[in-house]
Amino acid sequence: MDDFRDVTLASAGDPSIAIRTEALTKSYGELTAVAGLDLEVRFGEVFGLLGPNGAGKTTTILMLLGLTERDDGLAEVLGLDPARHPLEVKRQVGYLPDDVGFYAGMTGRENLRYTARLNRLDRAETEERIEALIERVGLAEAADRPVETYSRGMRQRLGLADVLLPEPRIAILDEPTAAIDPVGANELLALIRALADEEGVAVLLSSHLLLQVERVCSRVGIFVRGRMVEQGTVAELASRMPAQDLRVEVGCDGEPEAVRGSLAAIDGVRVIGQDHLDPRVWTVACEGDRRRELAARLAADGHAIFHLRSTGVGLEEVYRRYFQQAEDMAEEAADASAA
């Protein structure tokens, strides 16, 4: 730790930024868990760290909380270096681990009161806030039951209330909906989104559940083998993909060979095939957005269009493509080193 310089980041001073890192790096022996991470998370947004288990998401979170030391790079949380000021960071940041722990024999309410005492919160104000949070996370009927009787989803709800009790400016959530049923997960995601939208909290959410991340996150960062290979909104990530990877579904009435000929005649469009359930629906690969050209050509050729939409621009497809690209590059680098 003595080697760390007490410096600010080059772009510091923007009050809208809650978390910022530059070239943040952490290794465990020969394994590089996080490599050269550049990250910014702003107040009022939910930023999703997206990647498989072992990609470096939890290690990143631990460095931001000052719970593990970085090897290199810079980090600021609320303008503080978490490696030098871990206690000050923890006072203003709420952290929900992937498997939150409580005193099993105590009730949910008693656990929240214990957290309040640890944070030296005003007792009178705390009781009102605990009651409000219990209602907010949907635990009113279970608040006075022992936590050992809670389901995983109920413990995660209690964990979110525990995180929010000290009114943090930042909430860091590690796999908050893992092993929760779909209804419970949706309700928890709505609460998380409301934190950013209504209270201006900066939320950093780690997950491998793609559809849930897409629903709740303002921006996402894709982690592969310790590296952030891309970040931005889902639309931004989709727009950066190679043009030939963009797919479009086209549904139109007409003689199949005639429709195929019309599609194939459009510059930059390659016919992939027909839907096996509805042969009137075709999938084509486009070099860029060719939907206007597709519609114009099909209409000009007398084909009635009833369906036209882009596919492959959802987070699941974006992630799959970036992940595969990063894996291929890593394998090529390994082969080159072995040669």
Q: Indicate the average pLDDT of the chain.
A: 88
- The whole-number mean pLDDT for each consecutive block of 10 residues of the chain, a chain of 339 residues, reads 43 82 95 95 96 89 96 96 94 90 96 93 90 94 97 91 94 88 85 93 91 87 90 83 72 93 92 86 84 92 91 70 76 68
Domains of the chain: 17-231 (3.40.50.300), 233-339 (3.30.70.100)
pLDDT for the residue 337: 65
pLDDT for the residue 103: 96
Identify the DSSP state of 244.
G
pLDDT for the residue 5: 40
Is the torsion defined by CA of 104, 107, 112, 118 positive or negative?
negative
Using left for φ > 0, alpha for ψ between -120 and 50, and beta otherwise, residue 201 falls in beta
Query: Distances in Å between the alpha carbon of 309 and those of 80, 209, 284, 313, 335?
Result: 46, 24, 11, 10, 40
pLDDT for the residue 13: 66
Write the pLDDT tens digit of every residue in 263-290: 999 998 989 888 877 889 998 888 777 8
d(CA 202, CA 130): 21
pLDDT for the residue 200: 95
pLDDT for the residue 133: 95
pLDDT for the residue 149: 97
pLDDT for the residue 4: 42
173, 213 contact by CB (below 8 A): no
pLDDT for the residue 94: 94
pLDDT for the residue 244: 52
pLDDT for the residue 212: 81
